[in-house]
Structure 1
Amino acid sequence: METQKLQTFVTVATTLNYTEAAARLFTTQATVSKQILSLEKDLGVTLFSRAHRQVALTASGKAILPKAQAVLAATNELEAVVVAEQTGEGGLLRIRTVPSISSYRAFNQIAAFHQLHPEVKLQIAEMESDAVNNALKNGEADIVFTRLFEAPATNTEAYIGDTDEFVVVVPKGTPPAQAETLSVADLQDQDLLLLGESTHLFQPVARLFADAGATPHITYKGQRIDLILGMVSRGLGISIMMEKAIDLTDFPSLKTVKLDPTVHSQLAFIRPVGHHSATSDAFWQYIHQN
């Protein structure tokens, strides 16, 4: 039986709310429901009653809850002992990441792992994409989180958790904002405000224009997404960015429009092939299971 199902059961039993349980577990309500139904099928009992949209433990659920809590406590204690024995007290896990990690599921995975393994000393540093890749090559990181536009290097192993794609960021009420999609030809006379080369997001945009035989008019290149969004909102131009990396909450005058053709990227944890510390292996196993 998977301990993840037991953790979900205990969390729902604690909150008696599927939405709150999903938030605590850094997952979706649909996943919580699926895991509870699967556990009920495994055990052959009903754990919760769901009458009138109220969640309550059944008699079977109340009887099983303390046993499930004991199993989880023993499992967590065992994992902590194994990590401490193999790596020394606590152990260290060095993760280097691109700045936009908070927009992706990886951010929640790191936070959840830290809650499960407080004995592991996390060392997280945010860098631009080129520095992240160099940190892995130079042995300055155990694991990196980065963006891929092609297959990872053959001397690495990767866990791909998200995909993303380019969209065009434009001010509402302007002609480009009225289109369902925008082509490179539609953009070649626009003032473009782009993320620069060090982010590794400039090169694929440049290739899009080159493949279309068009020359972009680049007004600005930088590293800060929020600064570029502010410039777009003030009418200084438009931008091309990865859709999930954009938060327009503070920029209600902006919208995104699909780019045709677009370019997709994959967001991945990457580490070298070969021997790893127990902390690295523990984290690697965790992200594959969660």
Structure 2
Amino acid sequence: MELRQLRYFVEVAEREHMTEAADHLHVAQSAVSLQISKLEDELGVMLFERVGRNLKLTEIGKTFLFHIKKALQAIDFAKEKVDEYLDPEHGTIKIGYPSSFVNNLLPTIISNFKKKFPSVNFHLRQGSYAYLSKAVKNGDINISFLGPVPQEDQDINVHILFSEKFYAIVPHHHHLAERNQLVLSDLKDEDFVLFSDGFILRKIAIEACKMAGFMPKITSEGEDIDAIKGLVSAGIGVSILPENTLINNIPRMTKKIPITYPEVKRTVGIVIPKNRELAPSEKIFYQFVVDFFSKLERFK
């Protein structure tokens, strides 16, 4: 089996279409078809079956794909390690991050890191809490920021960077907008704008409201921080957001208000795999982040 054949196979399997796979690979369809045929001849099995104009994996094809993707990840990772061993300050670092880190946290970290290591490149991947945890475990990425940090997990190592409070955010014309602080039960009769079902920030907000003795009336939902802020700004409802999402970025027509009870907070950390070694450039970045926040904590 040739490496080229395996990469062609994965592309066709994921797109379920020979022409689309060839276009994405920038090669002729006949070249892809030939390599797939050679691979099937060598293995002695049919990996695909034709369904209309599309191709579907056979059962053995599905099994083969599962293991080949892991093998290719290992090969790519090995090549990256060799390249970065030769020059770790010119590597590429893949980092996962949730949407709540976009406005302040991630830009602050990367801009400070680039001052010290200007030749290191980044491949940034945004995702949900569940996706990012899984991506670190299965090898899609090796470093991710998460908040709150996962509980003890046999597959990942967690380093807590800091903890942050949540604030209520209300429209500027709201009857509580002039308050300097509030208890969460003050919002029990309000319409809430929260993240969609499955997002960790929605879960945190709902659990906090339950601690305050009520279930929030969720009338609108969004899938990123800016959507939530925009809906609050439009007067659709109120929300609860973590502090770093509001640093230098409180939308017009809104007011952020500290919550005194119950204390709503989350830990924020950086996670890495337990059973895979970081590439040299990844190690540099990881240690930089740990040291960076350690210094910030000392100066608070």
Q: TM class by shorter-chain length?
A: 0.5 to 0.7
> Structure 1 residues 287 and 83, CA, compared in 2 at 3 Å: closer, same or farther?
farther
* 1:99 and 2:113 correspond: no
Deviations 1:142-166 (A, max 9, x none): 1001111664535432333332211
Q: Which residue of 2 aligns with 1:277?
A: 279
Deviations 1:163-195 (A, max 9, x none): 221111112343222333333322121111112
Q: Secondary structure at the match of 2:158?
A: strand
Indicate conservation of the 8 Å contact 2:88/2:280, yes or no.
no
> Structure 1 residues 116 and 200, CA, compared in 2 at 3 Å: closer, same or farther?
same
Please report how far the alpha carbon of residue 244 of structure 1 lies from its aligned counterpart in structure 2 after TM superposition: 1.9
Q: Secondary structure at the match of 1:178?
A: coil
Please report how far the alpha carbon of residue 201 of structure 1 lies from its aligned counterpart in structure 2 after TM superposition: 0.4
In 2, Cα distance between equivalents of 1:184 and 1:118: 45
Aligned letter for 1:287? V
Q: Which moved more, 1:110-119 or 1:162-171?
A: 110-119
In 1, Cα distance between equivalents of 2:269 and 2:152: 9
User: Structure 1, unaligned stretches of length 5 or more?
Assistant: 1-81
Q: How does 1:210-289 map to 2 (within 5 A)?
A: 210-246=210-246, 251-259=251-259, 260-274=261-275, 275-289=277-291
> Structure 1 residues 234 and 84, CA, compared in 2 at 3 Å: closer, same or farther?
closer
Aligned letter for 1:238? V
CA RMSD of aligned residues (A): 2.8
> Structure 1 residues 108 and 129, CA, compared in 2 at 3 Å: closer, same or farther?
same
Q: Which moved more, 1:236-245 or 1:147-156?
A: 147-156
Q: Secondary structure at the match of 2:263?
A: coil
Q: Which residue of 2 aligns with 1:117?
A: 117
In 2, Cα distance between equivalents of 1:149 and 1:89: 28
> What count of residue pairs does the alignment treat as equivalent?
209
Indicate conservation of the 8 Å contact 2:95/2:141, yes or no.
yes
Indicate conservation of the 8 Å contact 1:106/1:161, yes or no.
no
Indicate conservation of the 8 Å contact 1:149/1:264, yes or no.
no
Q: Which residue of 2 aligns with 1:34?
A: none
In 1, Cα distance between equivalents of 2:227 and 2:278: 39
Please report how far the alpha carbon of residue 119 of structure 1 lies from its aligned counterpart in structure 2 after TM superposition: 4.3
Please report how far the alpha carbon of residue 88 of structure 1 lies from its aligned counterpart in structure 2 after TM superposition: 8.0
Give aligned-pair identity as a percent.
Answer: 24
Please report how far the alpha carbon of residue 248 of structure 1 lies from its aligned counterpart in structure 2 after TM superposition: 6.8
User: Structure 2, unaligned stretches of length 5 or more?
Assistant: 1-81, 293-300
Please report how far the alpha carbon of residue 225 of structure 1 lies from its aligned counterpart in structure 2 after TM superposition: 2.1
Q: Secondary structure at the match of 1:201?
A: helix
> Structure 1 residues 252 and 116, CA, compared in 2 at 3 Å: closer, same or farther?
same
Aligned letter for 1:172? H
Q: Which residue of 2 aligns with 1:74?
A: none
Deviations 1:200-238 (A, max 9, x none): 101121112333442221101211222222222222211
Q: Secondary structure at the match of 1:176?
A: coil
Q: Which residue of 1 aligns with 2:18?
A: none
> Structure 1 residues 110 and 198, CA, compared in 2 at 3 Å: closer, same or farther?
farther
TM-score under structure 2 length normalisation: 0.61
> Structure 1 residues 202 and 211, CA, compared in 2 at 3 Å: closer, same or farther?
same
Indicate conservation of the 8 Å contact 1:225/1:246, yes or no.
no
Q: Which moved more, 1:274-283 or 1:151-160?
A: 151-160
Please report how far the alpha carbon of residue 270 of structure 1 lies from its aligned counterpart in structure 2 after TM superposition: 0.9
Q: How does 1:69-88 map to 2 (within 5 A)?
A: 84-86=84-86
Q: Which moved more, 1:203-212 or 1:88-97?
A: 88-97
* 1:128 and 2:128 correspond: yes
Deviations 1:1-37 (A, max 9, x none): xxxxxxxxxxxxxxxxxxxxxxxxxxxxxxxxxxxxx
> Structure 1 residues 89 and 151, CA, compared in 2 at 3 Å: closer, same or farther?
closer
